[in-house]
C-alpha cells in the first residue's frame, strides 16, 4: 500500500521542476539523488550567476539556494531574481543558524523558508512538500482567475455588442447622427494626438466619441427630428441625454474611463453648459476635447433646418466662442489643425459620410 502511494506521489511530483544552487558540488549531487528519487525534475548548479540566467530562460517551480556562496551570497542571488521573477518559490539553506540572513531581508525578498544544512534531508523535504502545496494552490487560484476573467470578458463583449446596437439605433432615429459619433471619435483622437496625449487617453477619446450621444436613445423621435425651434420642455429632454448615457454605460467596467466624456461633453467653459454647469478646469479634460470635436461636426454637418456651414464661418465661430463655450487652449490647437492639416479632417469627413 505504501509503495502504491509513493508511486502516485512520484507521478504527481514529476510535473514540478526544482533548481538547486550550492557552490559545494557534493551538496548538489546529494540533492540530485534525493529529489530525483522523490520524483521531482531536478537541475543543480554550483555557479550563482548561471542559476540567475537559468531562471531567466527556463521555468522552475521551486529553488533551493545556499546562503553563503561565492561570488554572490544567496540573498544577492534572490535580489537579482526578484527583479524579473516575483513568483518563484525560494528556500534558503544555511550552514549555521547564526549565519542566516536577517528576518527583514527574508521578508523583503519574499523568501518562503530556510533551514540548516544536514546530512539528512527530512526537514528540507517537509519544506519542499509544503512549498509544492502552496504552488499547487497558487496555480489553482490562477486557473480560477483566468476562467473568471474569460467569463467576464465574454460578458463585457456581449454588453458591448448591445451598446453598439443601441448606438446604431440612435443613428437610425436621426439622419443627422448617422456617422456623427464616428466623426467625433476620429476628430477627438486627432486633437488628442496633436496635444501629445497618452495611448490610454487616446483610446478613451476614441471610445468616448463613439458613445457620447448614446443617451439620445431616450429622446423621442419627434424632438430629435423636429425642424422648428424646440420648446423649453423639449430642450429640457434633450439636456437629459448625458445622464441617460451614464445610466446605460455605468454598469460595465470597460466604459468607466469614458463616463466623464459622456456626461460632460455639453459643459461650457464659462459654466453655462449642462448637465452640471461645470466651468474651466473643472470640466474633465477629455470632455473638453470631445466638446470641440462635437461642435465642429455639428457646424460642418447638414441639419434639417440648415446646410453645413462654410469652413471660414466655422473658424470664426471657434474664435468667437473660445473661452466661453470652448477651452481656449484646446481651441487654439484645433484651429492649428484646421490651418495646417485640413487633409486629415477631410479624410475623416469622407470616410464617415
Count CA within 13 A, CB hemisphere, residue 318. 29
Q: What is the pLDDT along the chain (353 residues), one digit of tens a residue?
A: 333 334 345 666 778 999 999 888 988 998 898 888 888 899 999 999 999 999 999 999 999 988 888 888 888 888 899 999 988 999 888 876 666 666 777 777 778 877 777 767 778 888 888 888 888 888 888 888 777 777 767 766 776 777 777 776 777 666 666 689 999 999 999 999 999 999 999 999 999 999 999 888 888 877 777 777 888 888 888 899 999 999 888 877 788 999 999 999 999 999 999 999 999 999 999 999 999 999 999 999 877 667 889 999 999 999 999 999 999 999 999 999 999 999 999 999 999 88
Q: Which three cell numbers stand for residue 150?
A: 474569460
Residue 173's pLDDT is 65
Tell me, yes or no, if 117 is annotated catalytic: no
23: preceding bond cis by omega (within 30 degrees): no
Give CA separation, 272 vs 143, 325, 334, in Å: 52, 8, 22
Residue 7's pLDDT is 37
Q: How far apart are CA 294 and CA 180, in angstroms?
A: 8
Coil, strand or helix at 16: coil
Among 327, 333, 323, 350, residue whose Cα is nearest residue 190: 333
Domains in the chain (CATH in brackets) are 2-143 (3.40.50.2300), 152-351 (1.10.3210.10)
Element (H, E) at 66: strand 62-66
Q: How far apart are CA 17 and CA 39, in angstroms?
A: 10
What is the pTM for the complete model shown? 0.59
Coil, strand or helix at 324: coil
Residue 304's pLDDT is 64
> In this structure, are residues 265 and 292 in contact, taking their beta carbons and an 8 Å threshold?
no
Q: Which three cell numbers stand for residue 91?
A: 528556500
Q: Compute the 3-state secondary structure of the chain and give helix, strand, coil in percent, each to the nearest 5.
A: 65, 10, 30
Residue 3's pLDDT is 38
Which residue of the set 120, 193, 194, 216 is catalytic? 216
Q: What are residue 20's phi and psi, to 5 degrees?
A: -110, 135
Amino acid at each position: 500500500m505504501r509503495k502504491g502511494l509513493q508511486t502516485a506521489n512520484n507521478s504527481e511530483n514529476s510535473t514540478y521542476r526544482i533548481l538547486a544552487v550550492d557552490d559545494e558540488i557534493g551538496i548538489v549531487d546529494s540533492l540530485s539523488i534525493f529529489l530525483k528519487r522523490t520524483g521531482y525534475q531536478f537541475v543543480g548548479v554550483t555557479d550563482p550567476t548561471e542559476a540567475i540566467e537559468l531562471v531567466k530562460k527556463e521555468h522552475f517551480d521551486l529553488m533551493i539556494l545556499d546562503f553563503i556562496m561565492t561570488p554572490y551570497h544567496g540573498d544577492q542571488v534572490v535580489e537579482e531574481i526578484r527583479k524579473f521573477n516575483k513568483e518563484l518559490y525560494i528556500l534558503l539553506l544555511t550552514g549555521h543558524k547564526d549565519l542566516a540572513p536577517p528576518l527583514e531581508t527574508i521578508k523583503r525578498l519574499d523568501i518562503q523558508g530556510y533551514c540548516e544544512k544536514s546530512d539528512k534531508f527530512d526537514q528540507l523535504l517537509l519544506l519542499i512538500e509544503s512549498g509544492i502545496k502552496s504552488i499547487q494552490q497558487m496555480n489553482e487560484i490562477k486557473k480560477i482567475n483566468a476562467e473568471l476573467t474569460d467569463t467576464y470578458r465574454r460578458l463585457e463583449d456581449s454588453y458591448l455588442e448591445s451598446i453598439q446596437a443601441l448606438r446604431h439605433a440612435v443613428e437610425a432615429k436621426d439622419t443627422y447622427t448617422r456617422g456623427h459619433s464616428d466623426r467625433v471619435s476620429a476628430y477627438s483622437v486627432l486633437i488628442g494626438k496633436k496635444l501629445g496625449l497618452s495611448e490610454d487617453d487616446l483610446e478613451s477619446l476614441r471610445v468616448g466619441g463613439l458613445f457620447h450621444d448614446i443617451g439620445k436613445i431616450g429622446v423621442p423621435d419627434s424632438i430629435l427630428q423636429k425642424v422648428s425651434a424646440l420648446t423649453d420642455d423639449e430642450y429640457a429632454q434633450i439636456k437629459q441625454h448625458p445622464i441617460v448615457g451614464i445610466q446605460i454605460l455605468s454598469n460595465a467596467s470597460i466604459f468607466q474611463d469614458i463616463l466623464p466624456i459622456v456626461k460632460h461633453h455639453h459643459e461650457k467653459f464659462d459654466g453655462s453648459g449642462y448637465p452640471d454647469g461645470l466651468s474651466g478646469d473643472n470640466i474633465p479634460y477629455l470632455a473638453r476635447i470631445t466638446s470641440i470635436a462635437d461642435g465642429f461636426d455639428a457646424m460642418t454637418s447638414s441639419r434639417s433646418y440648415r446646410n453645413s456651414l462654410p469652413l471660414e464661418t466655422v473658424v470664426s465661430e471657434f474664435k468667437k466662442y473660445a473661452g466661453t463655450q470652448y477651452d481656449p487652449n484646446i481651441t487654439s490647437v484645433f484651429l492649428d489643425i484646421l490651418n495646417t492639416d485640413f487633409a486629415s479632417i477631410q479624410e475623416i469627413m469622407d470616410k464617415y459620410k
